[in-house]
Structure 1
Amino acid sequence: MPLPERNFIAEALRTETVGGVLLLAAAIAALIWANTLGGSYEAVRGLHIGPESLGLDLSLQHWAANGLLAIFFFVAGIELKRELVAGELRDPKAAALPVIAAICGMATPALVYFVVNAAGGGSLRGWAVPTATDIAFALAVLAVIGTSLPSALRAFLLTLAVVDDLFAILIIAIFFTSKINFLALGLAVAGLALFYLLLRKGVRGWYVYVPLGVTIWALMENSGVHATIAGVAMGLMLRCHRRDGERQSPGEHIEHLVRPLSAGLAVPLFALFSAGVSISGGAVHDVFTRPETLGVVLGLIVGKAVGIFGGTWCTARFTRAELNPDLKWPDVFGVAALAGIGFTVSLLIGELAFAGDTTLTDEIKASVLIGSLLAAVFAGILLKIRNNKYRVLCDEEERDDDQDGIPDVYERDQPEYHLRMAAIHEAKAAEHRKLAEMAAHARSGDHGPA
């Protein structure tokens, strides 16, 4: 494509709204494909490609989940590093609320899932499915709805979601790694060490880092540890603080380059090959009656909202941590409900947790989709109400009836303001009286001097 069009598309893909729309479109396409031409859908995503000699003879679905999603986690790793060195996580006091909120927002859904399945006799393997928050989707919903919401709300959600992703990665690494090939793992760690050394020595060139990164990913894939760990590890190694004379740090620059690839290709293709489940009336009924799927839905809708809001409130109430003065508690509850959009990472954990049980895996995916949709609708209503309230306040702050260039709200306590407003009202009243007199004379047929 010509450069201007290419730059336009790249800039569009860097916005949360476009990325979220593409993710949603890919999921809808997967559902339509799976429910109309299910045989071809299964055949395509089950197609194996890749060199078998290197242990990479994988299905397209596996390539999307372990390969393309590593790009998404690479960007998430850079975001986390940036938050640690220059964002909310740099200051322990400011970081306390979103970090504790993220921890409670993962523990409570897992507890909800555990209680539902312990009481209903279901499998406990899926406890981690409702613990994750989808950054792209949640930020896209907030960007569409929250045009007048405080900017601090987006920063709170971003920090919360980044910490959530970090713990999701740890959960995948610890609980969903079965057999470990220590030779491959050792070589992958050595590759990461070389990657770090080259960065610190200031070596530049994509032709150095891209082949090295692909090699590290392939070794991690063969080690038995989930290959997305390689992506987040490399992202965390990039320098994200600016030195004197730098407009962008290396981490910011690389994130700027890679984000369109993540939002426009990696995440939508993962959704396309993972979200396709057969949904019928019976399947929807099973989602709300089977303990495993019901636990996921309640974990996303109830567990996330209660855990994040409760953790934030308790931390602000019983510690020295304080809520950002620009935020109110209804705002926090709306964001807590919005964090119930699990989608990408929840679908990934669902595949790992119930690997080998195709029927239950599809039902878990359906529960993730339904739970995320309900959480998005519920949060959307709450945030829309708050957005309308903030919009009224913004309009009030921008009013300038006396047209002196200073919003009236900042002058209301000044005597001069009241004198000016009284004069303006008197002038308007006199003008209205004059117009009324002219109208009266016109009706009476008197066209004299009046």
Structure 2
Amino acid sequence: MAGKGVKRSSCLLLLQCEWDSCSYVCSRMEELCSHVSDHLRVQQLANGEEHVTCEDEFCCLWQDCGFFSLDSPAELARHVYFHCYHTKLKQMGLQALQNQPDLSPCQLDTQSRNMIPELQDCFVCMWEQCEASFDNAEWYYRHVDAHGLSAEYEMAGKENRVLMCTWKDCDCSCKSRCKLREHLRSHTQEKVVSCPNCGGMFSNNTKFYDHLRRQTSLDQHRFQCTHCSKRFATERLLRDHMRNHVNHYKCPLCDMTCPLPSTLRTHIRFRHSDERPFKCEHCDYSCKNLVDLRKHLDTHSKLPAYCCEYEDCSFTARSLCSVKAHYRKVHEGDSAPRYKCHVCEKCFTRGNNLTVHLRKKHQFKWPSGHPRFRYKEHDDGFLRLQLVRYESVELTEQLMKEREKQGATLDEASTCLVLNQGGSTGAEGTDIERTGLQKDYRYLPQ
């Protein structure tokens, strides 16, 4: 598969079923999906015979998944067939990695390798006069791709011929069939490769390779973000990262602004929703995501989950962060102050101590929706309060209009919306700007 192409691999795929303890392996998606449908049929018959009525009636038994449906066996089927599709993408990722011997494999935790996204009711083709629906993602993507393959050229002017996308509310035209098929993936959100280690899905090989390059050793990361000091292996990765600092969306319930719709949805779920769908089977604990539930489940284990890897050290803990903190403090001697107040230069060993200092000593505060202060590492190695947030020109204009409607002046709006020192506009407060970005996000180098 090329970096941004849509070629299908000609190499043999080893597609393994991971339903419960099944070890079935095949080479074609038709075979894998047919095999998995037998598992679904057997489970449905078993549930019918036992008259199961608990919430686990439609439970996915795919390894390391844990999904269950409260609605219907059809929802479970869509989910499990997506595991089949995901299995194929991981194989494609493995083959892509074998073709790049200079790249190191993914080093992330394998715990999420079979985590797949939440799916809509069904996959619906919105090509003109089609509206076919599918429960199987593989068949859906093949169906849409067939529209791209069979589209007919239309005249655009006297000499040019183009292929029109007739997807609902789309008027895009493409000069080649390859470009049209690639464009259709922007409608279907189809991914073409997945990391075989952590399960992350990507729309092309280039983004998959970027995923791996981000994990290279820090001494190879020569490009540094001026906003948060993170380092990257290539200049393009740095540009992509810097776009994430520009906010485009405002929460309708508080003052929080976010760079992406997905970030905004996550913010609303965690800050404004009381729903806690992930429940512990051992106690009354419940939480908002699977990661927190897994961390909690470690507390029920009699054995510590993590051990210090330092030679002759017997320290153990139930969380990875505790082991890392122990290692820094005991084995690396990391007890020197790293946080510094930008107002009075007082130093602290922990970020939360600096937070308390800023709130009590200097009366700093953050607006509703912002959960904490953020700190930025400076050239001298100290972390200081991050004073600037970036918003696109469009969002800035929207925020200004909202402030004007509320009776605030433009001067107030430009200095007091993110962090302020008790509402002060004195020397210590004016460097806290919300509208510090005077360049639109679109003008970043492409």
Q: Please, what TM-score do these two structures have when normalized by structure 1?
A: 0.22
Q: Which structure features the higher share of strand residues? A: 2
TM-score for both structures, normalised by structure 2: 0.22
The structure whose Rg is larger is 1
